[in-house]
Amino acid sequence: MKAAVFREVNQPMEIEEVQVSKPGPREVLIRTVAAGVCHSDLHFFNGTYPGQLPMVLGHESAGVVEQVGSDVHYVKPGDHVITCLSVFCGHCEYCLTGRMTLCQEPETKRREEEEPRLSDAGKPLTQFANLGSFAEHMLVHEHAVAKIREDMPLDRAALIGCGVTTGVGAVIHTARVEPGSTVAVIGCGGVGLSCINGAAIAGASRVIAVDTVPSKLELARKFGATDVVNAKDTDAVEAVKELTDGGAHYTFEAIGLKATAEQAFNMLRNGGAATIIGMIPPGDMVTLHGVEFLFEKKIQGSFMGSNRFRVDMPRFVDLYLQGKLHLDDMISSHIRLADINDAMKQLETGEIARNVIMFE
């Protein structure tokens, strides 16, 4: 099969012929139909986060099941599925207490002595996030997929695989935004737009979008933003405080920077909660004024929207088909796998929400 292989940091990926193994007892072989190009891929491509190379990037994807292992009963060939990087074992403490996104059990991967799922001339290729969706096929553990209805367009479904689940989930699961509350979202890429959409669905009375790109702020209005703040033209913290009469009940940081994480906390009213979604570079320290904690302000992280993805993803599909989840406007363009390097460069400019690779 063809795959975009990442061999060296910040060097163009080549489209290569690689080998994919046959499904093990609890594995599923998926024909990739659509894969979003996400900032998380860029963080590894540019070396901000380390990775074991060579690697096949990509983790926001949807496709059709082609083969299943002997012990797989959840899906069958022909089923439409969304993949999810928060693979879960189902029996560790985190899984049994409903926090599957925190599961780190190694049994969802193949052991070192086993044949690798992906290889090139007999040498293993790392699957980014246990998926590796910049390839024509994905071989994954059965607990990395969610089955969905077949009338859902798979290019839209792919977005649910990461950005939508991360953003909407942070609102409804991690922060538990209440109806009538005020929300500010810093960063209007795919995840930030999903936060905005989720806050609108949750019934927030005011949803403030913060970014420095006018076109993305306009797009945010389509996703449910009631107000927009261009952080290039004004002090974003003061602007949010003015719009919310002293600070927002909930803030979300969807960029991954020290400065914007601190802004998210400083935008809060007393008793508010800031949720950091973006991937802040390793080694960066977020600095806060300790006295603020006396006023019950909170800062917390969120990984993949604290999801229960086999429950959440089919529900998000229904919300899209009901016209409540605005996935159409999130897709900047459909591209080919051969365009992957251009798509990575576009992520660096911050001008787009999502490019989606189509495999058929």
Residue 334: strand pairing partners: 356
Residue-level pLDDT at 337 = 98
Residue-level pLDDT at 349 = 80
CB atoms within 10 A of CB 257: 17
Residue-level pLDDT at 144 = 98
Q: How far apart are CA 324 and CA 296, in angstroms?
A: 33
pLDDT tens string 205-262? 999 999 999 999 999 999 999 999 999 999 999 999 999 999 999 999 999 999 999 9
Mean pLDDT of 288-302: 97
pLDDT tens string 20-52? 999 999 999 999 999 999 999 999 999 999 999
pLDDT-based confidence at 110, cuts 50/70/90?
Answer: very high
Q: Does the annotation count 84 as an active-site position?
A: no
Express as a percent the part of the chain with pLDDT over 90: 96
244 neighbors 182 (Cβ within 8 angstroms): yes
Q: Which of 103, 141, 143, 162 is catalytic?
A: 162
Mean pLDDT of 159-172: 97
pLDDT higher than 80, residue 350:
no
Q: Does the annotation count 59 as an active-site position?
A: yes
Q: Which of 39, 40, 133, 249 is catalytic?
A: 40
Q: Which of 21, 39, 43, 173 is catalytic?
A: 43
Length of the chain: 360
pLDDT higher than 90, residue 351:
no
pTM for the structure as a whole: 0.95
Q: Does the annotation count 40 as an active-site position?
A: yes
Q: How far apart are CA 33 and CA 2, in angstroms?
A: 13
Q: Which of 38, 84, 188, 195 is catalytic?
A: 38
Q: What is the mean pLDDT of the chain?
A: 96
Q: How far apart are CA 97 and CA 100, in angstroms?
A: 8
Q: Which of 39, 59, 137, 249 is catalytic?
A: 59
Domains and CATH numbers, the chain: 2-148+327-358 (3.90.180.10), 167-302 (3.40.50.720)
Q: How far apart are CA 45 and CA 258, in angstroms?
A: 20
Q: Does the annotation count 43 as an active-site position?
A: yes
pLDDT higher than 90, residue 204:
yes
Mean pLDDT of 3-13: 97
Residue-level pLDDT at 360 = 74
